[in-house]
Amino acid sequence: MSLDTFLYFAYGSNMLSRRMLARTPSARRVGLAALAHFELRWHKVSKDGSGKCDIVATPGSSVQGVLYEIAAAERPALDVAEGLGTGYREVQLEVRTVDGVRQALSYQATNIDSFTKPYSWYKALVVAGAKEQGLDAAYVETLEAAPSWDDRNSQRAAENLR
């Protein structure tokens, strides 16, 4: 890693490489990573009213994800895509990789509702990314088991699943 790049821990839909590359074309997969003592929740309230992924400090839990190296010049685009200041805040985390502990940027929700659920198309993106990246099968099963609902806006659903 150089001064012109940063490490980013993706735990939601950005695990899917085509989605990540559409947002930050320089993104290069470093490898899998785990965030100890955190739990994945789907309670971040999105602009469309559905739930998006979030990480919540929870002793004994772990969130699996992907570590990317991204050009620093693309940081503003990632901030916008992630809703920095409008639903997420920046966090610096220590994640475990096969090469040891690394410091990485990620985002944590500021607008949450424990009763919200993700749209089925969003959950499908998260699950597809987890499978593409080779996350643990049991972890993928927990993602697949998350309750979701169908988006009434079929055009939005179709666009996101493309």
pLDDT in tens, 52-111: 999 999 999 999 999 999 999 999 999 999 999 999 999 999 999 999 999 999 999 999
How many structural domains compose the chain?
A: 1
The CATH number of the domain holding residue 118 is 3.10.490.10
- Cβ atoms 151, 157 nearer than 8 A: yes
Residue 1 has pLDDT above 70, yes or no: no
| DSSP H or E stretch at residue 77 | helix 75-82
Q: Give whole-number Cα distances, 98 to 34, 101, 157, in Å.
A: 10, 8, 36
Structural domain harbouring 110: 5-161
**Which of the residues are catalytic?**
82
| DSSP H or E stretch at residue 65 | strand 51-71
pTM confidence score: 0.95
